[in-house]
Amino acid sequence: MALKIRRKPTRAVRVGPIQIGGGAPIAVQSMAATRTQDVDATVRQVNLIAEAGADLVRIAVDSKKDVDALAEVRARTTATLSVDLQENYRLVALVAPHVDKVRYNPGHLHHHEREKAVRDKVAFIAEQAVRHNVALRVGVNCGSVDPEKTAKFGADDVGAMVESALEHAQMLDDLGFTRYVVSLKDSAWRKVVEGNRRFAAARPDVPLHLGVTEAGIPPEGVIKTRIAFEQLLAEGIGDTIRVSLTLPFEQKGEEVRAGRQIIEDVYAGRFRSVPEAFDRGLNIISCPSCSRVENEAFVDLAHDVKRMAAYAKDHDVTIAVMGCRVNGPGETDAADIGLWCGPTGVNLKRGPELVGHFPYDVVLERTKQLLDEVIASSGAARVRAGP
């Protein structure tokens, strides 16, 4: 039976030819996982994602060379484009002329020009957005939240994430800039649901971009995302979505198809029940990859780790596999076992401690040894009896 969903009355944000919020259909987006400077591959992937039905395609830009490549990509595709800024927020002045939306992460505004107030950096970003007629996304990630908020909130990382998002929304409002959306993401679906609920209660006017980061490999990655989106979309929260999956190049359109299927199912009243112990047992987190991936062997490694670790399915162990040094070190800290990829080798961690740096052809075996050690320790309780 179709569900009567009352969407939150958010304000309309124009992003090139599309509208996010203000009652517009929920926009579905995805992100290119190619090296931005490989213009042919990036154009091919942007078009593949757009042809799969994406309303918006995001590209990562970290350097001046990436900006030059972005300009070429822009000239060779008609897709609506968004860019992900990392630490170098000043690049916004160079990327904004080529795209329709720019995402910045409040947690990354502390790395460059430390003496400069964050408010002034946000003012610079907003000024460039106005000058080049683009929308913004305040993209807060629970794993890389502003250090001051982390210190203030301690174990309440969702509280830190929500306050950071509220603070930046207020900063933009104070600047008279209202053409923005907000996202509050984490790899744990419960935190995504809680964070978005809390933000929507405080700022029902701001359009929300929903996503579960590093959801991993299908089908588990789609299931985690579906659970979060079912809760939020059914409450009328969410104006645009992204499903983040670790997929080979040719299958990247699957993120868009999965997103559309979830929206269709929620609106048709087709929900999956969520057993109490759903997220107990082995949990593999892996990033969806993007242009920053340091070695293309990352996607195979993530799948190999999943296959190798299958024997531990009944143990409460989280393994995080990340593609690069930008988010890899921080996003693996909370996992029992973390792998983050470098150009020639992989950094293997147990919790926040580095175990070592291993070549790609050795790290799987070393990860298996570490997994055995973690299971043998008291921190990885067996959660259910196996058959």
Give contact residues for ligand SF4 (rule: CB under 6 A): 287-290, 292-293, 322-324, 326-328
Short-list 341, 338, 363, 334, CA closest to 350: 338
Q: How far is the CB of 100 from ligand SF4 (least distance, A)?
A: 21
In the complex with ligand SF4, the residue whose CB is nearer, 19 or 34, is 34
**Could you give the angle at which helices 64-76 and 39-51 cross, rounded to 10 degrees?**
50
Helices (H), the chain: 39-51, 64-76, 92-95, 118-131, 147-153, 157-174, 189-202, 220-234, 254-267, 297-308, 328-331, 360-376
| Structure tokens, 274 | 């969520």
Q: How far is the CB of 340 from ligand SF4 (least distance, A)?
A: 7
In the complex with ligand SF4, the residue whose CB is nearer, 326 or 370, is 326
In the complex with ligand SF4, the residue whose CB is nearer, 126 or 324, is 324
Q: Are 99 and 135 in contact (CB under 8 A)?
A: no
| Structure tokens, 210 | 């929903």
| Structure tokens, 138 | 């305040």
Q: How far is the CB of 288 from ligand SF4 (least distance, A)?
A: 5
In the complex with ligand SF4, the residue whose CB is nearer, 48 or 215, is 215
Q: Are 127 and 119 in contact (CB under 8 A)?
A: no
Residue with tokens 């104070």: 174
CA–CA separation, 350 and 338 (whole Å): 6
Q: How far is the CB of 331 from ligand SF4 (least distance, A)?
A: 6
Q: How far is the CB of 335 from ligand SF4 (least distance, A)?
A: 13
In the complex with ligand SF4, the residue whose CB is nearer, 266 or 301, is 301
CA–CA separation, 10 and 44 (whole Å): 34
Short-list 180, 138, 234, CA closest to 10: 180
In the complex with ligand SF4, the residue whose CB is nearer, 203 or 209, is 209
In the complex with ligand SF4, the residue whose CB is nearer, 171 or 245, is 245
Q: How far is the CB of 231 from ligand SF4 (least distance, A)?
A: 24
In the complex with ligand SF4, the residue whose CB is nearer, 158 or 302, is 302
Please state, in angstroms and as integers, the Cα–Cα distance from residue 306 to each residue in 201, 206, 289, 356, following that order: 37, 37, 16, 20
Q: How far is the CB of 339 from ligand SF4 (least distance, A)?
A: 11
CA–CA separation, 109 and 315 (whole Å): 38
The DSSP symbol for 351 reads T
Q: How far is the CB of 121 from ligand SF4 (least distance, A)?
A: 20
